[in-house]
């Protein structure tokens, strides 16, 4: 058996010597490195943006904390703030479903409601008087007209009427207003 030298031809094919072999990455390897570097830069920019967006928003928030640890809303003089307590939301256990008359036809309306109250004392009072709240809201809702409820102005007027009636009912029974605002979380009219 004979050993063939590294630079000899075997059946017309020249064999390369061990030192002659070179691995070249060429342009495809450089492209991969540049793409990977670009992806890392994009991820870092997105992470920094998310960090400043979520943590930077706290310093620009219009809600400020006072000395007593309660949250006070800045700017708006109409809303109570400070000593009354934090804003809490009391969800009504069931949606309100009722018929309202309209000029063309009667409509079926479904409204899901949450109540904005201030402080845990008012939250407890609202939860204690759920049947009274439901009755007062249903009475206010059923007095509406379908033609008015189609517009945003009509929905706002219904919210204001419901709030007024509810505050009056709670004032008579609980001795305080308790509810600051009536919020519609869902409004469907068929």
- On the question of pLDDT at 129 being above 90, the answer is yes
Q: What is the CA radius of gyration of the chain?
A: 35
pLDDT, tens digit, 9 for 90 and up, residues 16-38: 555 555 555 556 778 888 888 88
- Tokens encoding 88: 């809490």
- On the question of pLDDT at 114 being above 90, the answer is yes
- On the question of pLDDT at 60 being above 50, the answer is no
Q: Which residue has the tokens 């992470």?
A: 47
The C-alpha atoms of residue 171 and residue 134 are separated, in whole angstroms, by 15
Three-class SS state of 122? helix
Burial bucket for residue 138 (CB in 10 Å: 0-12, 13-18, 19+):
middle
Contact indicator for 179, 115 with CB cutoff of 8 Å: yes
- With 0.95 as the threshold, say if the pTM is over it: no
What is the 8-class DSSP label of residue 74? S
What is the 8-class DSSP label of residue 21? -
Q: How far are the Cα atoms of 99, 104, 122, 129 from residue 149, in angstroms, in the given order?
A: 12, 14, 30, 27
- Tokens encoding 31: 């492209």
User: In the chain, what percentage of residues exceed pLDDT 70?
Assistant: 71
pLDDT at 66: 43
pLDDT, tens digit, 9 for 90 and up, residues 148-158: 999 999 999 99
Q: How far are the Cα atoms of 37, 126, 155, 190 from residue 187, in angstroms, in the given order?
A: 50, 22, 9, 10
């Amino acid at each position: 058996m004979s050993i063939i030298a590294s630079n000899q031809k075997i059946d017309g094919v020249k064999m390369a010597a061990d030192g002659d072999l070179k691995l070249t990455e060429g342009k495809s390897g450089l492209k991969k490195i540049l793409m990977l570097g670009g992806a890392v830069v994009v991820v870092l920019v997105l992470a920094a943006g998310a960090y400043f967006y979520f943590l930077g928003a706290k310093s620009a928030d219009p809600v400020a904390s006072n000395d007593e640890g309660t949250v006070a809303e800045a700017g708006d003089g109409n809303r109570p703030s400070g000593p009354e307590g934090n804003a809490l939301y009391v969800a009504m256990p069931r949606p309100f479903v009722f018929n309202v008359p309209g000029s063309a036809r009667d409509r079926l309306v479904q409204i899901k409601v949450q109540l904005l109250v201030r402080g845990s004392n008012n939250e407890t009072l609202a939860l204690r008087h759920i049947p009274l709240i439901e009755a007062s809201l249903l009475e206010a809702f059923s007095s509406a007209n379908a033609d008015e409820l189609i517009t945003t102005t009509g929905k706002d007027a219904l919210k204001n009427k419901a709030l007024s009636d509810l505050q009056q009912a709670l004032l008579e029974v609980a001795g305080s207003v308790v509810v600051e605002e009536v919020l519609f979380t869902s409004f469907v009219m068929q």
